Amino acid sequence: MNLKRHIPLFLKQIVYESKSYRRNPAAAFFTLVFPLLFLFMLRIFGNDFVEIDGGSVSRATKYIPMITAFSVIGSSYTGIAMTLTINRDIGVLKRYKGTPLPLMIFLLGKITHNTIVSFVLAVIIALIAFFAFDVGLPRNSIAPFFLTMILGAATFTSLGIAFTSLIPNSDAAAPMVNASIIPLMFISDIFIPMDSAPIWLNSVAQIFPVRPFSLLLQEAYSPFSSGSLNNPGNYLILFAWLAIGLITSLKFFSWEPRR
Amino acid sequence: MLAIDTNQLTKRYGDFQAVNSVSLKVREGEIFALLGPNGAGKTTTVEILEGHRLKTSGQVKVLGMDPSENSTEFRSRVGIVLQETGIEQYLTAVEILEQFTNFYESPRSISNLLEMTGLEEEKNKRVKKLSGGQKRRLDVAIGLCGNPDILFLDEPTTGFDPSARRTFWDMIKNLRNDGTTVVLTTHYMEEAEYLADTVALMNHGKLVTQGSLSDLKISHNQTSITFKLDESSAVLPEDIQEISEISKSMVLINTESPTAVLSDLTGWAISEGIELTNLEVSRQTLEEIYLGILK
Protein backbone atom coordinates (compact mmCIF):
# COMPACT_ATOMS: atom_id res chain seq x y z
CA MET A 1 0.00 0.00 0.00
CA ASN A 2 1.25 3.40 -0.97
CA LEU A 3 -0.48 5.45 1.72
CA LYS A 4 0.56 8.82 0.39
CA ARG A 5 -1.28 8.07 -2.85
CA HIS A 6 -4.02 5.82 -1.57
CA ILE A 7 -5.41 7.94 1.26
CA PRO A 8 -6.26 10.94 -0.99
CA LEU A 9 -7.60 8.50 -3.57
CA PHE A 10 -9.82 6.91 -0.91
CA LEU A 11 -11.10 10.30 0.28
CA LYS A 12 -11.88 11.39 -3.28
CA GLN A 13 -13.75 8.14 -3.93
CA ILE A 14 -16.02 8.99 -0.98
CA VAL A 15 -16.66 12.43 -2.46
CA TYR A 16 -17.67 10.94 -5.84
CA GLU A 17 -19.80 8.26 -4.20
CA SER A 18 -21.54 10.94 -2.23
CA LYS A 19 -22.13 13.21 -5.24
CA SER A 20 -23.49 10.35 -7.27
CA TYR A 21 -25.76 9.28 -4.39
CA ARG A 22 -27.12 12.72 -3.65
CA ARG A 23 -28.00 13.30 -7.28
CA ASN A 24 -30.09 10.16 -7.48
CA PRO A 25 -33.13 11.56 -5.73
CA ALA A 26 -35.11 8.32 -5.91
CA ALA A 27 -32.55 6.33 -3.92
CA ALA A 28 -32.08 9.04 -1.32
CA PHE A 29 -35.82 9.57 -1.01
CA PHE A 30 -36.70 5.94 -0.47
CA THR A 31 -34.10 5.41 2.22
CA LEU A 32 -35.90 8.09 4.22
CA VAL A 33 -39.45 7.32 3.22
CA PHE A 34 -39.61 3.86 4.78
CA PRO A 35 -38.68 4.88 8.31
CA LEU A 36 -41.07 7.83 8.06
CA LEU A 37 -43.85 5.49 7.04
CA PHE A 38 -43.08 3.32 10.05
CA LEU A 39 -43.18 6.29 12.36
CA PHE A 40 -46.52 7.31 10.90
CA MET A 41 -47.95 3.83 11.53
CA LEU A 42 -46.73 4.05 15.09
CA ARG A 43 -48.67 7.24 15.54
CA ILE A 44 -51.85 5.55 14.28
CA PHE A 45 -51.45 2.65 16.70
CA GLY A 46 -51.18 4.96 19.67
CA ASN A 47 -48.31 5.73 21.96
CA ASP A 48 -49.27 3.96 25.20
CA PHE A 49 -46.76 2.50 27.63
CA VAL A 50 -45.11 -0.87 27.20
CA GLU A 51 -42.73 -2.88 29.36
CA ILE A 52 -39.07 -3.23 28.52
CA ASP A 53 -36.10 -4.38 30.59
CA GLY A 54 -35.87 -2.09 33.59
CA GLY A 55 -39.28 -0.43 33.47
CA SER A 56 -41.97 0.88 31.18
CA VAL A 57 -41.53 3.27 28.25
CA SER A 58 -43.73 4.76 25.54
CA ARG A 59 -44.38 2.51 22.55
CA ALA A 60 -42.39 4.90 20.38
CA THR A 61 -39.35 4.60 22.63
CA LYS A 62 -39.52 0.84 22.28
CA TYR A 63 -39.95 0.83 18.51
CA ILE A 64 -37.65 3.65 17.39
CA PRO A 65 -34.45 1.59 17.79
CA MET A 66 -36.04 -1.26 15.82
CA ILE A 67 -37.07 1.14 13.05
CA THR A 68 -33.57 2.55 13.07
CA ALA A 69 -32.07 -0.94 12.74
CA PHE A 70 -34.46 -1.73 9.89
CA SER A 71 -33.62 1.48 8.03
CA VAL A 72 -29.89 1.17 8.48
CA ILE A 73 -29.93 -2.41 7.20
CA GLY A 74 -32.08 -1.26 4.28
CA SER A 75 -29.74 1.52 3.28
CA SER A 76 -26.53 -0.39 3.89
CA TYR A 77 -27.07 -4.08 3.14
CA THR A 78 -29.99 -3.95 0.70
CA GLY A 79 -28.98 -0.64 -0.88
CA ILE A 80 -25.40 -1.57 -1.63
CA ALA A 81 -26.24 -5.05 -2.93
CA MET A 82 -28.79 -3.60 -5.38
CA THR A 83 -26.72 -0.68 -6.72
CA LEU A 84 -23.58 -2.77 -7.01
CA THR A 85 -25.38 -5.48 -8.97
CA ILE A 86 -26.91 -2.92 -11.32
CA ASN A 87 -23.57 -1.17 -11.78
CA ARG A 88 -21.95 -4.53 -12.43
CA ASP A 89 -24.55 -5.39 -15.07
CA ILE A 90 -24.24 -2.11 -16.98
CA GLY A 91 -20.45 -2.24 -17.01
CA VAL A 92 -19.61 0.53 -14.56
CA LEU A 93 -17.57 -1.86 -12.43
CA LYS A 94 -15.77 -3.40 -15.39
CA ARG A 95 -14.56 0.05 -16.33
CA TYR A 96 -13.04 0.51 -12.87
CA LYS A 97 -11.39 -2.87 -13.21
CA GLY A 98 -9.44 -1.60 -16.22
CA THR A 99 -7.85 1.20 -14.19
CA PRO A 100 -5.14 1.15 -11.52
CA LEU A 101 -7.74 1.90 -8.79
CA PRO A 102 -7.11 -0.82 -6.17
CA LEU A 103 -10.12 -3.03 -5.30
CA MET A 104 -9.49 -2.33 -1.61
CA ILE A 105 -9.81 1.45 -2.09
CA PHE A 106 -12.94 1.02 -4.18
CA LEU A 107 -14.58 -1.19 -1.55
CA LEU A 108 -13.49 0.95 1.41
CA GLY A 109 -14.85 4.03 -0.39
CA LYS A 110 -18.23 2.31 -0.80
CA ILE A 111 -18.32 1.04 2.77
CA THR A 112 -17.32 4.37 4.28
CA HIS A 113 -19.78 6.35 2.18
CA ASN A 114 -22.59 3.96 3.02
CA THR A 115 -21.71 4.09 6.70
CA ILE A 116 -21.92 7.87 6.63
CA VAL A 117 -25.31 7.74 4.87
CA SER A 118 -26.66 5.23 7.38
CA PHE A 119 -25.37 7.30 10.24
CA VAL A 120 -27.05 10.43 8.96
CA LEU A 121 -30.24 8.44 8.47
CA ALA A 122 -30.12 7.21 12.08
CA VAL A 123 -29.58 10.75 13.34
CA ILE A 124 -32.54 12.02 11.30
CA ILE A 125 -34.74 9.27 12.74
CA ALA A 126 -33.54 10.11 16.25
CA LEU A 127 -34.38 13.77 15.75
CA ILE A 128 -37.83 13.07 14.31
CA ALA A 129 -38.47 10.68 17.20
CA PHE A 130 -37.36 13.31 19.66
CA PHE A 131 -39.45 16.16 18.28
CA ALA A 132 -42.53 14.32 17.04
CA PHE A 133 -42.79 11.35 19.41
CA ASP A 134 -41.14 12.61 22.55
CA VAL A 135 -38.59 9.82 22.50
CA GLY A 136 -35.48 10.70 24.49
CA LEU A 137 -32.26 10.93 22.51
CA PRO A 138 -29.78 8.23 23.49
CA ARG A 139 -28.03 10.87 25.57
CA ASN A 140 -26.45 8.85 28.33
CA SER A 141 -25.51 6.12 25.84
CA ILE A 142 -24.09 8.35 23.17
CA ALA A 143 -20.79 6.43 22.84
CA PRO A 144 -22.42 3.00 22.53
CA PHE A 145 -24.97 4.48 20.09
CA PHE A 146 -22.23 5.87 17.84
CA LEU A 147 -20.16 2.73 18.04
CA THR A 148 -23.18 0.55 17.26
CA MET A 149 -24.15 2.68 14.30
CA ILE A 150 -20.70 2.76 12.74
CA LEU A 151 -19.98 -0.91 13.37
CA GLY A 152 -23.47 -1.93 12.24
CA ALA A 153 -23.50 0.11 9.04
CA ALA A 154 -20.00 -1.02 8.07
CA THR A 155 -20.89 -4.65 8.80
CA PHE A 156 -24.11 -4.64 6.79
CA THR A 157 -22.49 -2.78 3.89
CA SER A 158 -19.61 -5.23 3.70
CA LEU A 159 -22.07 -8.14 3.89
CA GLY A 160 -24.13 -6.52 1.12
CA ILE A 161 -21.02 -6.32 -1.07
CA ALA A 162 -20.10 -9.90 -0.23
CA PHE A 163 -23.61 -11.07 -1.08
CA THR A 164 -23.40 -9.64 -4.61
CA SER A 165 -20.99 -12.41 -5.50
CA LEU A 166 -23.96 -14.80 -5.21
CA ILE A 167 -26.36 -12.66 -7.28
CA PRO A 168 -26.32 -13.64 -10.98
CA ASN A 169 -27.82 -10.42 -12.42
CA SER A 170 -29.75 -7.30 -11.48
CA ASP A 171 -33.14 -8.92 -12.17
CA ALA A 172 -32.37 -11.40 -9.44
CA ALA A 173 -31.01 -8.78 -7.05
CA ALA A 174 -34.22 -7.65 -5.34
CA PRO A 175 -35.73 -11.10 -4.67
CA MET A 176 -32.42 -12.60 -3.57
CA VAL A 177 -31.48 -9.74 -1.29
CA ASN A 178 -34.91 -9.67 0.32
CA ALA A 179 -34.96 -13.42 0.72
CA SER A 180 -31.63 -13.26 2.48
CA ILE A 181 -32.55 -10.56 4.98
CA ILE A 182 -36.30 -10.38 5.64
CA PRO A 183 -36.70 -13.81 7.26
CA LEU A 184 -33.78 -12.92 9.49
CA MET A 185 -35.44 -9.65 10.44
CA PHE A 186 -38.58 -11.53 11.52
CA ILE A 187 -36.69 -13.50 14.13
CA SER A 188 -34.31 -10.70 15.09
CA ASP A 189 -36.34 -8.20 17.09
CA ILE A 190 -36.92 -5.89 14.14
CA PHE A 191 -40.63 -6.23 13.30
CA ILE A 192 -41.84 -8.26 16.28
CA PRO A 193 -40.53 -7.98 19.85
CA MET A 194 -39.04 -11.37 20.64
CA ASP A 195 -39.35 -11.27 24.46
CA SER A 196 -41.75 -14.21 24.50
CA ALA A 197 -40.14 -16.17 21.65
CA PRO A 198 -38.75 -19.65 22.37
CA ILE A 199 -35.18 -19.53 23.62
CA TRP A 200 -33.85 -21.70 20.79
CA LEU A 201 -35.16 -19.22 18.21
CA ASN A 202 -33.42 -16.32 19.90
CA SER A 203 -30.26 -18.39 20.11
CA VAL A 204 -30.40 -19.04 16.38
CA ALA A 205 -31.02 -15.34 15.64
CA GLN A 206 -28.14 -14.42 17.91
CA ILE A 207 -25.67 -16.15 15.54
CA PHE A 208 -26.48 -13.60 12.83
CA PRO A 209 -25.75 -9.88 12.94
CA VAL A 210 -29.31 -8.47 12.80
CA ARG A 211 -30.42 -9.32 16.34
CA PRO A 212 -27.25 -8.11 18.07
CA PHE A 213 -27.51 -4.87 16.11
CA SER A 214 -31.16 -4.33 17.08
CA LEU A 215 -30.49 -5.21 20.74
CA LEU A 216 -27.58 -2.78 20.93
CA LEU A 217 -29.72 0.02 19.53
CA GLN A 218 -32.58 -0.81 21.90
CA GLU A 219 -30.18 -0.66 24.77
CA ALA A 220 -28.76 2.68 23.62
CA TYR A 221 -32.27 4.15 23.49
CA SER A 222 -33.40 2.66 26.80
CA PRO A 223 -33.69 5.32 29.51
CA PHE A 224 -32.69 2.59 32.01
CA SER A 225 -29.38 1.68 30.45
CA SER A 226 -26.21 2.66 32.26
CA GLY A 227 -24.51 3.91 29.11
CA SER A 228 -21.57 1.57 29.39
CA LEU A 229 -20.79 -1.25 26.97
CA ASN A 230 -22.99 -3.79 28.72
CA ASN A 231 -23.04 -6.35 26.01
CA PRO A 232 -19.56 -6.72 24.54
CA GLY A 233 -20.76 -10.02 23.05
CA ASN A 234 -23.11 -8.21 20.66
CA TYR A 235 -20.29 -5.97 19.45
CA LEU A 236 -18.07 -8.98 18.97
CA ILE A 237 -20.69 -10.73 16.85
CA LEU A 238 -21.05 -7.64 14.64
CA PHE A 239 -17.30 -7.35 14.41
CA ALA A 240 -16.95 -11.00 13.39
CA TRP A 241 -19.53 -10.47 10.62
CA LEU A 242 -17.71 -7.35 9.49
CA ALA A 243 -14.55 -9.43 9.10
CA ILE A 244 -16.47 -12.14 7.24
CA GLY A 245 -18.00 -9.52 4.95
CA LEU A 246 -14.68 -7.87 4.17
CA ILE A 247 -12.76 -11.07 3.54
CA THR A 248 -15.52 -12.54 1.37
CA SER A 249 -15.81 -9.29 -0.60
CA LEU A 250 -12.09 -9.11 -1.27
CA LYS A 251 -11.95 -12.75 -2.29
CA PHE A 252 -15.08 -13.21 -4.35
CA PHE A 253 -15.95 -9.73 -5.57
CA SER A 254 -16.79 -9.72 -9.25
CA TRP A 255 -16.40 -6.64 -11.44
CA GLU A 256 -18.12 -8.24 -14.38
CA PRO A 257 -21.67 -9.34 -15.12
CA ARG A 258 -22.38 -12.99 -14.33
CA ARG A 259 -24.71 -14.33 -16.92
CA MET B 1 9.57 -3.31 -30.47
CA LEU B 2 6.32 -5.25 -30.23
CA ALA B 3 3.54 -3.73 -28.17
CA ILE B 4 1.61 -6.98 -28.31
CA ASP B 5 3.02 -10.41 -28.91
CA THR B 6 0.88 -13.52 -28.61
CA ASN B 7 1.83 -17.04 -29.43
CA GLN B 8 -0.70 -19.86 -29.91
CA LEU B 9 -3.19 -17.94 -27.76
CA THR B 10 -6.17 -20.17 -27.05
CA LYS B 11 -9.38 -19.73 -25.11
CA ARG B 12 -11.74 -22.62 -24.59
CA TYR B 13 -15.19 -22.61 -23.01
CA GLY B 14 -15.90 -26.29 -22.47
CA ASP B 15 -15.73 -27.84 -25.92
CA PHE B 16 -16.03 -24.50 -27.67
CA GLN B 17 -12.82 -22.96 -29.01
CA ALA B 18 -13.52 -19.23 -28.82
CA VAL B 19 -9.92 -18.40 -29.72
CA ASN B 20 -7.80 -21.01 -31.44
CA SER B 21 -3.98 -20.71 -31.56
CA VAL B 22 -3.85 -17.05 -32.43
CA SER B 23 -0.42 -15.47 -32.84
CA LEU B 24 -0.68 -11.70 -33.15
CA LYS B 25 2.16 -9.22 -33.53
CA VAL B 26 1.41 -5.53 -32.99
CA ARG B 27 4.23 -3.04 -33.42
CA GLU B 28 4.61 -0.08 -31.10
CA GLY B 29 3.00 3.08 -32.39
CA GLU B 30 0.77 1.55 -35.03
CA ILE B 31 -2.96 1.32 -35.45
CA PHE B 32 -3.86 -2.34 -35.54
CA ALA B 33 -7.33 -3.39 -36.66
CA LEU B 34 -8.76 -6.76 -35.71
CA LEU B 35 -11.53 -7.68 -38.12
CA GLY B 36 -13.98 -10.50 -38.42
CA PRO B 37 -17.67 -11.36 -38.35
CA ASN B 38 -19.71 -11.55 -35.14
CA GLY B 39 -18.63 -14.48 -33.02
CA ALA B 40 -15.21 -14.70 -34.69
CA GLY B 41 -13.43 -14.36 -31.31
CA LYS B 42 -12.29 -10.75 -31.66
CA THR B 43 -13.73 -9.48 -28.40
CA THR B 44 -12.53 -12.53 -26.47
CA THR B 45 -9.03 -12.02 -27.88
CA VAL B 46 -9.02 -8.34 -27.03
CA GLU B 47 -10.39 -9.00 -23.53
CA ILE B 48 -7.53 -11.41 -22.87
CA LEU B 49 -5.09 -8.72 -24.02
CA GLU B 50 -6.80 -6.19 -21.72
CA GLY B 51 -6.55 -8.53 -18.73
CA HIS B 52 -10.32 -8.87 -18.45
CA ARG B 53 -10.32 -12.55 -19.32
CA LEU B 54 -7.92 -15.42 -18.70
CA LYS B 55 -6.42 -17.43 -21.52
CA THR B 56 -6.66 -21.21 -21.59
CA SER B 57 -3.20 -21.67 -23.09
CA GLY B 58 -0.49 -19.98 -25.14
CA GLN B 59 1.68 -16.95 -24.43
CA VAL B 60 0.57 -13.33 -24.19
CA LYS B 61 2.75 -10.28 -23.74
CA VAL B 62 1.34 -6.77 -23.77
CA LEU B 63 3.97 -4.04 -23.33
CA GLY B 64 6.23 -6.85 -22.20
CA MET B 65 3.84 -7.82 -19.37
CA ASP B 66 1.46 -10.68 -18.81
CA PRO B 67 -2.03 -9.09 -18.67
CA SER B 68 -3.38 -11.87 -16.43
CA GLU B 69 -1.09 -10.70 -13.61
CA ASN B 70 -3.12 -7.50 -13.58
CA SER B 71 -0.32 -5.41 -12.12
CA THR B 72 -0.79 -1.74 -11.27
CA GLU B 73 1.87 -0.89 -13.84
CA PHE B 74 -0.06 -2.74 -16.54
CA ARG B 75 -3.31 -0.99 -15.58
CA SER B 76 -1.54 2.38 -15.63
CA ARG B 77 -0.16 1.95 -19.11
CA VAL B 78 -3.20 0.45 -20.83
CA GLY B 79 -6.33 2.38 -21.79
CA ILE B 80 -9.51 0.43 -22.43
CA VAL B 81 -12.66 1.49 -24.26
CA LEU B 82 -15.19 -1.29 -23.93
CA GLN B 83 -17.93 -2.16 -26.36
CA GLU B 84 -20.70 -1.38 -23.87
CA THR B 85 -20.90 1.91 -22.08
CA GLY B 86 -21.45 1.99 -18.37
CA ILE B 87 -20.74 5.28 -16.67
CA GLU B 88 -22.10 6.62 -13.40
CA GLN B 89 -25.25 8.37 -14.58
CA TYR B 90 -25.40 11.20 -12.10
CA LEU B 91 -21.93 12.70 -12.42
CA THR B 92 -21.00 15.26 -15.06
CA ALA B 93 -18.51 14.55 -17.83
CA VAL B 94 -15.87 16.69 -16.19
CA GLU B 95 -16.42 15.06 -12.78
CA ILE B 96 -16.03 11.61 -14.31
CA LEU B 97 -12.77 12.67 -15.91
CA GLU B 98 -11.55 14.21 -12.64
CA GLN B 99 -12.34 10.97 -10.88
CA PHE B 100 -10.59 8.75 -13.41
CA THR B 101 -7.51 10.95 -13.83
CA ASN B 102 -7.07 10.58 -10.05
CA PHE B 103 -6.33 6.90 -10.53
CA TYR B 104 -3.13 7.59 -12.51
CA GLU B 105 0.20 8.99 -11.45
CA SER B 106 0.80 10.98 -14.63
CA PRO B 107 -2.60 11.59 -16.21
CA ARG B 108 -3.53 13.70 -19.19
CA SER B 109 -5.00 17.08 -18.29
CA ILE B 110 -8.77 17.29 -18.26
CA SER B 111 -8.83 20.24 -20.65
CA ASN B 112 -6.72 18.22 -23.07
CA LEU B 113 -9.08 15.22 -22.80
CA LEU B 114 -12.14 17.41 -23.39
CA GLU B 115 -10.51 19.10 -26.34
CA MET B 116 -9.36 15.85 -27.96
CA THR B 117 -12.78 14.31 -27.75
CA GLY B 118 -14.66 17.51 -28.54
CA LEU B 119 -16.62 17.47 -25.31
CA GLU B 120 -15.81 20.98 -24.10
CA GLU B 121 -19.35 22.21 -24.46
CA GLU B 122 -20.85 19.17 -22.76
CA LYS B 123 -18.41 19.07 -19.88
CA ASN B 124 -20.92 20.17 -17.25
CA LYS B 125 -23.72 17.93 -18.45
CA ARG B 126 -24.57 14.85 -16.45
CA VAL B 127 -23.79 11.58 -18.19
CA LYS B 128 -27.51 10.77 -18.17
CA LYS B 129 -28.12 13.78 -20.42
CA LEU B 130 -25.43 13.03 -23.03
CA SER B 131 -26.33 11.67 -26.46
CA GLY B 132 -25.10 8.24 -27.56
CA GLY B 133 -22.23 9.68 -29.58
CA GLN B 134 -21.21 12.01 -26.76
CA LYS B 135 -21.20 9.12 -24.29
CA ARG B 136 -19.00 7.18 -26.66
CA ARG B 137 -16.57 10.08 -26.85
CA LEU B 138 -16.58 10.30 -23.06
CA ASP B 139 -15.79 6.58 -23.07
CA VAL B 140 -12.74 7.27 -25.16
CA ALA B 141 -11.76 10.23 -22.97
CA ILE B 142 -11.91 7.95 -19.92
CA GLY B 143 -9.74 5.40 -21.74
CA LEU B 144 -7.18 8.13 -22.38
CA CYS B 145 -7.13 9.52 -18.80
CA GLY B 146 -3.90 7.77 -17.84
CA ASN B 147 -2.13 8.80 -21.05
CA PRO B 148 -1.77 5.12 -22.00
CA ASP B 149 0.94 3.59 -24.15
CA ILE B 150 -1.63 1.34 -25.71
CA LEU B 151 -5.31 2.01 -26.26
CA PHE B 152 -7.91 -0.70 -26.91
CA LEU B 153 -10.99 0.38 -28.81
CA ASP B 154 -13.77 -2.18 -29.15
CA GLU B 155 -16.09 -1.08 -31.97
CA PRO B 156 -15.68 2.58 -31.10
CA THR B 157 -17.83 4.26 -33.76
CA THR B 158 -20.94 2.10 -33.79
CA GLY B 159 -23.89 4.49 -33.94
CA PHE B 160 -21.88 7.52 -35.12
CA ASP B 161 -23.09 9.75 -37.92
CA PRO B 162 -20.65 10.06 -40.85
CA SER B 163 -19.18 13.41 -39.85
CA ALA B 164 -18.75 12.41 -36.20
CA ARG B 165 -17.06 9.27 -37.42
CA ARG B 166 -14.61 11.24 -39.54
CA THR B 167 -13.76 13.54 -36.62
CA PHE B 168 -13.27 10.51 -34.42
CA TRP B 169 -10.95 8.87 -36.96
CA ASP B 170 -8.79 11.96 -37.15
CA MET B 171 -8.52 11.97 -33.37
CA ILE B 172 -7.32 8.35 -33.42
CA LYS B 173 -4.78 9.19 -36.12
CA ASN B 174 -3.47 12.05 -33.99
CA LEU B 175 -3.06 9.68 -31.07
CA ARG B 176 -1.04 7.33 -33.23
CA ASN B 177 1.08 10.26 -34.42
CA ASP B 178 1.80 11.03 -30.75
CA GLY B 179 3.14 7.50 -30.34
CA THR B 180 0.17 5.66 -28.83
CA THR B 181 -0.40 2.11 -30.05
CA VAL B 182 -4.04 1.61 -30.93
CA VAL B 183 -5.78 -1.75 -31.13
CA LEU B 184 -9.13 -1.49 -32.82
CA THR B 185 -11.88 -3.99 -33.44
CA THR B 186 -14.49 -2.95 -35.93
CA HIS B 187 -17.23 -4.07 -38.30
CA TYR B 188 -16.65 -1.16 -40.61
CA MET B 189 -14.16 -1.97 -43.33
CA GLU B 190 -13.83 1.64 -44.37
CA GLU B 191 -12.86 2.41 -40.78
CA ALA B 192 -10.06 -0.13 -40.89
CA GLU B 193 -9.07 1.03 -44.36
CA TYR B 194 -8.88 4.66 -43.25
CA LEU B 195 -7.11 4.06 -39.95
CA ALA B 196 -5.19 0.83 -39.82
CA ASP B 197 -1.51 0.30 -40.51
CA THR B 198 -1.92 -3.42 -39.95
CA VAL B 199 -5.00 -5.56 -40.14
CA ALA B 200 -5.70 -9.06 -38.89
CA LEU B 201 -8.74 -11.06 -39.86
CA MET B 202 -10.30 -13.62 -37.56
CA ASN B 203 -12.96 -16.20 -38.35
CA HIS B 204 -14.26 -19.08 -36.21
CA GLY B 205 -11.68 -18.27 -33.52
CA LYS B 206 -8.76 -18.56 -35.90
CA LEU B 207 -6.47 -15.97 -37.37
CA VAL B 208 -7.09 -16.07 -41.12
CA THR B 209 -4.60 -13.47 -42.24
CA GLN B 210 -2.45 -10.71 -40.78
CA GLY B 211 -0.37 -8.03 -42.44
CA SER B 212 -0.09 -4.43 -43.43
CA LEU B 213 -3.04 -3.05 -45.30
CA SER B 214 -0.96 -2.59 -48.46
CA ASP B 215 0.47 -6.14 -48.24
CA LEU B 216 -3.02 -7.50 -47.88
CA LYS B 217 -4.11 -5.63 -50.95
CA ILE B 218 -1.12 -6.84 -52.93
CA SER B 219 -1.51 -10.47 -51.86
CA HIS B 220 -5.17 -10.34 -52.80
CA ASN B 221 -4.29 -8.40 -55.85
CA GLN B 222 -7.55 -8.47 -57.68
CA THR B 223 -8.68 -5.69 -59.94
CA SER B 224 -12.29 -5.30 -60.93
CA ILE B 225 -13.18 -4.30 -64.49
CA THR B 226 -16.79 -3.46 -65.20
CA PHE B 227 -18.61 -2.19 -68.26
CA LYS B 228 -21.95 -2.28 -70.00
CA LEU B 229 -22.50 -4.48 -73.02
CA ASP B 230 -25.57 -4.89 -75.13
CA GLU B 231 -25.52 -8.67 -75.69
CA SER B 232 -27.74 -8.55 -78.78
CA SER B 233 -25.12 -6.63 -80.73
CA ALA B 234 -21.91 -8.28 -79.57
CA VAL B 235 -20.49 -11.54 -78.23
CA LEU B 236 -17.37 -11.45 -76.10
CA PRO B 237 -14.37 -13.47 -77.30
CA GLU B 238 -14.21 -16.83 -75.58
CA ASP B 239 -11.18 -16.21 -73.33
CA ILE B 240 -12.78 -13.09 -71.89
CA GLN B 241 -16.20 -14.69 -71.68
CA GLU B 242 -14.70 -17.40 -69.46
CA ILE B 243 -13.61 -15.01 -66.70
CA SER B 244 -16.63 -12.72 -66.87
CA GLU B 245 -19.68 -12.56 -64.67
CA ILE B 246 -22.55 -11.07 -66.63
CA SER B 247 -25.81 -9.89 -65.17
CA LYS B 248 -28.34 -7.57 -66.81
CA SER B 249 -25.88 -6.55 -69.51
CA MET B 250 -23.30 -5.46 -66.88
CA VAL B 251 -20.04 -7.35 -67.19
CA LEU B 252 -17.74 -7.87 -64.18
CA ILE B 253 -14.22 -9.25 -64.52
CA ASN B 254 -12.05 -9.89 -61.47
CA THR B 255 -8.48 -10.48 -62.49
CA GLU B 256 -4.95 -10.57 -61.15
CA SER B 257 -3.55 -9.45 -64.55
CA PRO B 258 -5.61 -6.41 -65.47
CA THR B 259 -3.17 -5.10 -68.09
CA ALA B 260 -3.42 -8.15 -70.33
CA VAL B 261 -7.16 -8.51 -69.90
CA LEU B 262 -7.72 -4.82 -70.65
CA SER B 263 -5.52 -5.02 -73.73
CA ASP B 264 -7.43 -8.05 -75.07
CA LEU B 265 -10.75 -6.43 -74.23
CA THR B 266 -10.08 -3.03 -75.75
CA GLY B 267 -8.37 -4.60 -78.81
CA TRP B 268 -11.46 -6.67 -79.43
CA ALA B 269 -13.81 -3.74 -78.88
CA ILE B 270 -11.91 -1.48 -81.26
CA SER B 271 -11.71 -4.12 -83.97
CA GLU B 272 -15.45 -4.79 -83.65
CA GLY B 273 -16.23 -1.08 -83.41
CA ILE B 274 -17.98 -1.44 -80.03
CA GLU B 275 -18.03 1.20 -77.32
CA LEU B 276 -17.52 -0.19 -73.80
CA THR B 277 -19.91 2.12 -71.97
CA ASN B 278 -19.39 2.81 -68.26
CA LEU B 279 -15.97 1.17 -68.35
CA GLU B 280 -14.48 1.18 -64.86
CA VAL B 281 -11.23 -0.27 -63.56
CA SER B 282 -10.75 -0.37 -59.77
CA ARG B 283 -8.74 -2.15 -57.14
CA GLN B 284 -10.72 -4.23 -54.70
CA THR B 285 -11.66 -2.45 -51.50
CA LEU B 286 -10.84 -3.98 -48.13
CA GLU B 287 -14.48 -4.91 -47.85
CA GLU B 288 -14.35 -6.93 -51.07
CA ILE B 289 -11.12 -8.61 -49.97
CA TYR B 290 -12.69 -9.34 -46.58
CA LEU B 291 -15.81 -10.86 -48.10
CA GLY B 292 -13.67 -12.80 -50.58
CA ILE B 293 -11.57 -14.33 -47.81
CA LEU B 294 -14.58 -15.24 -45.68
CA LYS B 295 -16.35 -16.90 -48.59
In a domain, A171, yes or no: yes
pLDDT per residue over B69-124, tens digit each? Answer: 889 999 999 999 988 768 888 999 999 999 999 999 999 999 999 998 889 999 99
Confidence check: pLDDT of B257 > 90? no
Residue A257 lies in a domain: no
- Domain interval for residue A118: 25-252
Which chain B residues are Cβ-neighbours of A92 within 8 angstroms?
86-88
Chain A residues with CB-CB distance to B145 below 8 A: 99
Instruction: Give a yes or no: residue A2 inside a domain.
Output: no
Q: Answer yes or no: is A15 within a domain.
A: no
CB contact under 8 A, B82 and A91: yes
Band the pLDDT of B196: cuts 50, 70, 90. very high
Look up the ipTM and state it: 0.84
Lowest pLDDT segment from A218-222, B23-27, B217-221: B217-221
Per-window interface: A 71-110 vs B, CB < 8 A: 87, 90-95, 97-102
pLDDT in tens, chain A (259 residues): 678 888 999 999 999 999 988 887 776 677 778 777 877 787 777 777 887 777 788 888 888 899 899 999 998 999 899 989 998 998 889 999 999 999 889 999 999 999 999 888 899 888 988 888 888 888 778 888 999 999 999 999 999 999 999 999 989 999 999 999 999 999 888 888 877 888 899 888 899 999 999 999 988 888 887 766 667 899 999 999 999 999 999 999 988 887 6
**Domains of chain B listed by start with CATH number:** 2-218 (3.40.50.300), 221-294 (3.30.70)
Examine residue A13 and state whether it is found in any structural domain, yes or no: no
Determine the distance in angstroms separating the CA of B124 from the nearest CA of chain A, rounded to an integer.
14
The whole-chain average pLDDT of chain B stands at 89
Tell me how many domains chain A contains: 1
Q: Would A204 be classed as within a structural domain?
A: yes
What is the structure's pLDDT at A85?
Answer: 93
CA closest to A256 among chain B residues: B52
State the Cα–Cα distance between residues B219 and B215, nearest whole angstrom.
Answer: 6
Q: Do A23 and B99 touch (CB under 8 A)?
A: no
Could you tell me if residue A19 is inside a domain?
A: no
**Residue A45: Cβ-neighbour burial (10 angstroms; 0-12, 13-18, 19+):** exposed
CB B18 within 8 A of CB B75: no
Q: Would the pTM of this model clear 0.90, i.e. be above it? A: no
DSSP string, A178-247: HHHHHHHHHTTTSSS--TTS-HHHHHHHHHSSHHHHHHHHHHHH-TT--SS---HHHHHHHHHHHHHHHH
For residue A259, is it within any domain? no
